Structure 1
Amino acid sequence: MSGPGFPDPADTFRVEAADVLNEVEQALLDLTQNPHDKDLVDAVFRGLHTLKGSGAMFGFDDLAGFTHHCESAFDQVRKGAVAATPELISIVLSAQDRMRALVAGEVDEEKQNRILAQLGEAVAAASDQGASDQDASDQGGAQAETPGAGEAGGWRVRFRLPADCMANGTNPLFLLDELRELGECEIALLTDRIPPLAELDPRECHLGWDVTLKGAIDRDDIEDVFIFVMDDMELSIEPIGAEREKALEQPSSSTREAGRASAETNATAGAAPADGKAQPGKAAGDTLRVPAERLDELMDRVGQLVIAQSRLSQIAHGNVDLALRSVSEEIERLSGELRDTMMVMRMVPVSTLFGRFRRLIHDLSEETGKAIALSTEGEGTEVDKTVIERLFDPIVHLVRNSCDHGLETPDQRRTAGKPESGNITLSAHQAGGEVVITIRDDGRGIDRDRVRAKAEESGLIKPDQVLSDQELFQLIFHPGFSTAAQVSNLSGPGVGMDVVKRTIESLRGTIEVASEPGEGSTIALRIPLTLAIIEGLLVRVGEEQYVIPLSSVEECIELSLEDDMRHRGRSLISLRGALVPFLRLREVFASGTKPDPYQKIIVVSTGAERVGLVVDQIIGNHQTVIKSMSAFHRSAASFSGATILGDGTVALILDVPQLVSLAQQQEERLQAAG
């Protein structure tokens, strides 16, 4: 059922299919490292089985038909007839990309047929290896009776489903139909646990089933019927004629060996957990899937509430009515708590970002012929979901550059005394109101001479210009800058590095680069935790008010009129033995007003760089709801946004990295003139 207030079932399927495909991809990538891991093979098979069945149920027939071939291939892997070779896994990964397209409704029969032909060839090649592995296994000792071998007499299957099975989307009739398809079937109903009518809950399942299956049937095929409900049910599978049958209350332990799959994983079982992974022991109602746009809308409402609360506080502050002040303080407390709760709801762990790079590294390793390993650190660090979405493309560029420019070939690494496999490390940690995401490689490092030569050739710097390492490395983010000797699919003019810088700066972030010859390079991205509401320092310059992000503020010091006049020649202050340049915002913004007698210097930092900003007055802390600037005002490089103050006036939010860059340029001009 769809319509106002009801989600389109096809849209629900697409969301859940994306979760299943992500889990399948991670299992396939793990399988490349552990090709004999039965649990991983089972996980891939379960995911493909779910996708096929759910796709057919929701009308995605092309997807169901295509996925069926991959499921059949992994069914043979699961039964030991086919080996999980790198070639087979690689083709199924390519098939998985096609499945994503089919979920989106993009049918390309030519591509699908080509992948299926490659899949058939890979299965044929892998079947020989699987047979060899099986023969070697058989020769390793006495051949024990295989639990999944077909029983000529048949099986007796007794099962009970959890009481809330139907609320989770499990239909017992479907399970019985699947059992009937396996062979001659007799079904007896177990009614011994039906409670008295007065205690009966019609929403719960109180029945059990005693099924006799006759014929040569594999035990694995029976277990497959219950693969998605196995964790929570009571199940006994015994050969007909066995001397002793297990009691109904003692589920067969061998049925657990097929792997664990929560009911949430099945697309018919309702919403999946927010992180896309099954949560053992959690009830289906413990998690709720909410469309991202609803969170964005709620965040906007919370922002409006914070602005209204700020107005109320300003009115109450100048009022003698104690009751009004009390209500204002209570609303301020509640709006603060609501804001914090809303921020937490929008936070997602960076593992959702880092996990997507495992496939990229796998593909780059095949494309470049280099052995590349990916390691991650700090995956539990949480960032606003909007930030996560916008960080993916920049990090893709940086990872591709590290693989192409940074890492050497296996022969070059052996010659340098390094392990053949290069390593890319993605790490994240929180630092105040920022998250620092680092991309590190253990390759050859950045060639300073080549960077400098290219910069001089491009006219970016003068031949005799003195630059620090940080200043030199920042040149690689200039549009069109590239030191690649040969243009390839991975490297070429610009390699998108200028796009990386623009994207990070649009997130109010900064980029820091470090490198050691022969040891590798490290690129650190410093990004605000959220883009919606920040703590700011409200200041006055002339008649106007501005907001400085509090996460950038280090300290505030006083600048008297005499000190201001003394520093007219060069705008530098000595701060605990270090010279710090400063900007007079009154002059930068051409306010046309005289300075206050006692101005303030607010020392801000972006990474290792520090700059002082001279203002007339510090008004105080301010919960800043960030509003986008119009296209006309967006060209003003000194501002990153705007906010509405309690009295309804607008205050511009200062872009600290841009102001730091402006101060450095001003200092360079003074040095050149001096």
Structure 2
Amino acid sequence: MTTLDPRDVFLAEASELLERLETTLLDLGDRPDDTALIDTAFRALHTIKGSGAMFGFDRVAAFTHDFETAFDRVRRGQIAPSVDLINVALSAKDYIRTLIEEPDPDTAVIGEAILAELDRLVGGAPAQPAAAGPMPPAPAPTPNGWRIGLTFAPDILRNGSNPLALLDELAELGACTIVPRLGDLPDLEDLDPESLAIGWDVTLVGPVGREAIEDVFLFVRDAMTLTLEPLVLEPVAQAMVAQAAATQAPAAASKPAQAAVAVPVAPVSEATALTAAASTALVAPAPPDRNTPDRSLSERRPPPRAASTMRVEAERLDELMDRVGELVIAQARLSQLAGLQADAGIKTIAEEIERLSAQLRDTTMGIRMVPIGTLFSRFRRLVHDLSRDLGKPVTFVTDGEETELDKTVIERLADPLVHLIRNAIDHGVEAPECRVAAGKAETGRIALTAQHAGAQVLVSVRDDGAGLDVARIRAKAEERGLVQPGTPLTDQQVYQFLFAPGFSTAHEISALSGRGVGMDVVKKTIEALRGSIDITTEPGAGTAIVLRLPLTLAIIDGLLIRVGEARYVLPLAAVEECIELPGDRHIGHGRDFLSIRGDLVPFLRLRTLFEATGEPDPHQKVIVVSVGETRIGLVADQILGNHQTVIKSLSKLHADVATFSGATILGDGTAALIIDPAQVAAAGQPDGLRAYQEVA
């Protein structure tokens, strides 16, 4: 059994913290007045600094400390988070990631330049707010102490936090008394030892700033309610509290005291607005009378247990999926053997194992499913940087973040989406002056959405730019010899030229585009994922590129067919319907067509395509499959039925066989190839486009 290196734990947590920091900084750029975002960013920096020092990442801790010090002025309200400050903070975040992943001493000059820029931005006079408003009131006099109320979330103990340790840290700031709140304690039979049901009232005396108290609870602020009320005490009262706290503090820190010290409080003026100081004594709340029936306590139920999670290595999930796949193959073999036996008991066991293996398969596939929002959040920074570099203000909108996909699909989907978003901003969205001249808003819009559609997930990238120029794309394709002039092509077929290697309509090569590489990568990656690409555009209104992707790449529902003596599998998600091969067929342009409810659908004979031997079945079947907007019929000798298909990759020797996307093991131990509908459908395209696809 492998042990997990603590440094690996830090690297994983630091990556999550940096992603959270980036998201928070981007949100802060949109909402600079949101103090909660500032606190979240500060807590992320503080955690990275502390963890980095703990695990020996001294350069990370030192740089983050300086970063945190500069950002602390923003947290205290002395500096407004301007656009320049957010950009430099994002660069600082990138540098922290570099220090963690590639700690090269030669990059120290980069860190020094970033810190110098940070110091320049926060070292001047405090920035004025963007909108004019009333002047803030003068700060209240420094209090002699604080009356503090602490209420923690019931599940804080399950999260590993220790409220008593926080009380110890609070007691180190000055003389204090601690009184527990026992009014919310449940009855003994309803008591949950893992649920916190008490709070504390603390009186802290001494010249302690509000920030020092808030820093004690920095990491649990999201799981507690903290109230602070300043106190202005007479000197005699200060001495009384200090003396009492000195004798009771050790006991109070480990076991909160049951009584408080009464201290006189000085009168407070209205300017300080210290309403709590009007009282003349601090009295501990009386314990509840157990002899008096309390309806609220009798009806109280223990709080529900919080859902727990654990971190698992991705390799273990892959190994688990492989084992489940082998189990599905063995179960298919058992079911086939049981069907040949007359023993009802064996058939019953085979059916039970089939049910259990199906449940285990669904559970394992569910574990591998990840919300696509984890991928979408990465592109906010990309849009932010491209918008700044190209001088095109762009609003980035996402929807469907909760849509789940197999983790392998999400990992391989990142690069195609990067290219699509870059093209949408560079080629799709017009310059601000062009948009204004066309009657549009100066700010462009990029929408990234995801949604389920049966056994597929549709991921779309939409812009509100000028749209695609069909004539220009076709002219470029004819210039490169991808299609013969005059060949009749639909708009959808013309759009496919965008995915040809080296194809670009840019007038000049820039740092972002012009070499015709990006869309070629998109096409190859999506086809490797057994997906397809749809393009829709409207001149002057924008373009939408929709990626149709399978939910998973491990186990799929397939349609088992026979062609000659061999058996093949078609992904069931691509199958529309199955019909008998009719006698009335149409011939046009050298191809066969079927008339299905008034629509002409081209069809291919798989016996001819696969060079099958033997006599064809007298009652052949046509399986109509759809790839995007293309429908095509595939003629097979026999349809054997549905099949749970465990996908096995082809060897490197078969890498150039584009017709098949993989193979599977059948119940009798023989192999069956999995047909790629997109590649087979390409054989039914016009000659000019087919020649292009063979080259691509």
TM bucket (normalised to shorter chain) is 0.7 to 0.9
Q: Choose which of 322, 336, 344 in structure 2 pairs with 1:314.
A: 336
Q: Choose which of 135, 157, 163 in structure 2 pairs with 1:139.
A: 135
CA contact (8 A) 2:665 2:672 kept: yes
Is residue 2:643 matched to residue 1:622?
A: yes
Q: Choose which of 7, 24, 27 in structure 2 pairs with 1:10.
A: 7
CA contact (8 A) 1:189 1:208 kept: no
The residue number in structure 2 matching 1:48 is 45
Structure 2 CA distance for aligned equivalents of residues 59 and 174 of structure 1:
25
Q: Give CA deviations for 1:413-433 in whole Å, capped at 9, x if unaligned.
A: 000100000101111111111
The residue number in structure 2 matching 1:28 is 25
Q: Choose which of 365, 378, 388 in structure 2 pairs with 1:356.
A: 378
Structure 2 CA distance for aligned equivalents of residues 667 and 403 of structure 1:
31
Q: For 1:590-601, list aligned pairs within 5 A.
A: 590-601=611-622
CA contact (8 A) 2:467 2:537 kept: yes
Structure 2 CA distance for aligned equivalents of residues 249 and 619 of structure 1:
77
Is residue 2:636 matched to residue 1:639?
A: no
Q: CA deviation at 1:372?
A: 0.5
CA contact (8 A) 1:159 1:248 kept: no
Q: Choose which of 346, 369, 376 in structure 2 pairs with 1:347.
A: 369
The residue number in structure 2 matching 1:452 is 474
CA contact (8 A) 1:541 1:617 kept: yes
Q: Choose which of 72, 95, 109 in structure 1 pairs with 2:92.
A: 95
The residue number in structure 2 matching 1:274 is none
CA contact (8 A) 1:539 1:618 kept: yes
Is residue 2:175 matched to residue 1:186?
A: yes
Structure 2 CA distance for aligned equivalents of residues 313 and 567 of structure 1:
46
Q: For 1:73-472, list aligned pairs within 5 A.
A: 73-107=70-104, 108-125=107-124, 127-130=125-128, 139=135, 143=137, 150-151=142-143, 153-155=144-146, 157=148, 168-170=159-161, 175=166, 178-179=169-170, 182=173, 185-186=174-175, 213-232=204-223, 237-240=228-231, 241=233, 242-244=277-279, 286-472=308-494
For residue 419 of structure 2, what is the amino acid of its counterpart? Answer: H
Structure 2 CA distance for aligned equivalents of residues 232 and 186 of structure 1:
26
The residue number in structure 2 matching 1:505 is 527
The more displaced of 528-537 and 495-504 is: 495-504
Q: 1:238 to 1:481 in 2, by over 3 A?
A: same
Q: For 1:601-612, list aligned pairs within 5 A.
A: 601-612=622-633
Is residue 2:528 matched to residue 1:528?
A: no
Aligned residue for 2:652, secondary structure, equals coil
Q: CA deviation at 1:6?
A: 3.4
The more displaced of 533-542 and 464-473 is: 464-473
For residue 175 of structure 2, what is the amino acid of its counterpart? Answer: E
Q: CA deviation at 1:578?
A: 1.3
Count of matched residue positions in the alignment of Structure 1 and Structure 2: 626
For residue 516 of structure 2, what is the amino acid of its counterpart? Answer: G
For residue 225 of structure 1, what is the amino acid of its counterpart? Answer: V
Structure 1 CA distance for aligned equivalents of residues 120 and 152 of structure 2:
41
For residue 293 of structure 1, what is the amino acid of its counterpart? Answer: E
The residue number in structure 1 matching 2:56 is 59
Q: CA deviation at 1:82?
A: 0.6
The residue number in structure 1 matching 2:684 is 663
The residue number in structure 1 matching 2:274 is none
Q: Give CA deviations for 1:308-335 in whole Å, capped at 9, x if unaligned.
A: 1100000001110000000111111111
The more displaced of 504-513 and 492-501 is: 492-501
Q: Give CA deviations for 1:354-402 in whole Å, capped at 9, x if unaligned.
A: 1111111111110100011111222222111111111110010011011
RMSD of the alignment, in Å? 3.3
Aligned residue for 2:81, secondary structure, equals coil
The residue number in structure 2 matching 1:269 is none
Structure 2 CA distance for aligned equivalents of residues 282 and 413 of structure 1:
54
The residue number in structure 2 matching 1:258 is none
Larger radius of gyration: 2
TM-score normalised according to structure 1 size: 0.85
Q: CA deviation at 1:466?
A: 1.7
Q: CA deviation at 1:567?
A: 9.8
The more displaced of 51-60 and 94-103 is: 51-60
The residue number in structure 1 matching 2:606 is 585
The more displaced of 4-13 and 412-421 is: 4-13
Structure 1 CA distance for aligned equivalents of residues 616 and 382 of structure 2:
55
CA contact (8 A) 2:683 2:690 kept: no
Q: 1:162 to 1:516 in 2, by over 3 A?
A: closer
Structure 1 CA distance for aligned equivalents of residues 73 and 221 of structure 2:
21
Q: 1:157 to 1:377 in 2, by over 3 A?
A: closer
Q: CA deviation at 1:232?
A: 4.5
Aligned residue for 1:632, secondary structure, equals helix
The residue number in structure 2 matching 1:494 is 516
Q: CA deviation at 1:55?
A: 2.1
Aligned residue for 1:420, secondary structure, equals coil
Q: CA deviation at 1:622?
A: 0.1
CA contact (8 A) 2:155 2:306 kept: no
Q: 1:475 to 1:237 in 2, by over 3 A?
A: same
CA contact (8 A) 2:447 2:461 kept: yes
For residue 114 of structure 1, what is the amino acid of its counterpart? Answer: A
Structure 1 CA distance for aligned equivalents of residues 514 and 79 of structure 2:
41
Structure 1: unaligned runs, 5 residues or longer: 251-280
For residue 638 of structure 1, what is the amino acid of its counterpart? Answer: T
Q: CA deviation at 1:336?
A: 0.9
Structure 1 CA distance for aligned equivalents of residues 205 and 511 of structure 2:
59
Q: Give CA deviations for 1:601-640 in whole Å, capped at 9, x if unaligned.
A: 1111101101111111100000000001101122111100
TM-score normalised according to structure 2 size: 0.83
Q: For 1:558-569, list aligned pairs within 5 A.
A: 558-559=580-581
CA contact (8 A) 2:455 2:551 kept: yes
Q: 1:160 to 1:447 in 2, by over 3 A?
A: closer
Q: Give CA deviations for 1:127-183 in whole Å, capped at 9, x if unaligned.
A: 4314x779x65636xx2655xx742x233557587787666443568646754775x
The more displaced of 236-245 and 218-227 is: 236-245
CA contact (8 A) 1:235 1:248 kept: no
Q: CA deviation at 1:506?
A: 0.1
Q: 1:442 to 1:210 in 2, by over 3 A?
A: closer
CA contact (8 A) 2:156 2:223 kept: no
Q: CA deviation at 1:282?
A: 8.0
Structure 2 CA distance for aligned equivalents of residues 104 and 605 of structure 1:
45
For residue 80 of structure 1, what is the amino acid of its counterpart? Answer: G
Structure 2 CA distance for aligned equivalents of residues 577 and 564 of structure 1:
13
Structure 2 CA distance for aligned equivalents of residues 332 and 625 of structure 1:
15
Structure 2 CA distance for aligned equivalents of residues 581 and 591 of structure 1:
21
The more displaced of 424-433 and 159-168 is: 159-168
Structure 1 CA distance for aligned equivalents of residues 285 and 468 of structure 2:
65
CA contact (8 A) 1:168 1:284 kept: no
CA contact (8 A) 1:188 1:209 kept: no
Q: 1:554 to 1:487 in 2, by over 3 A?
A: same
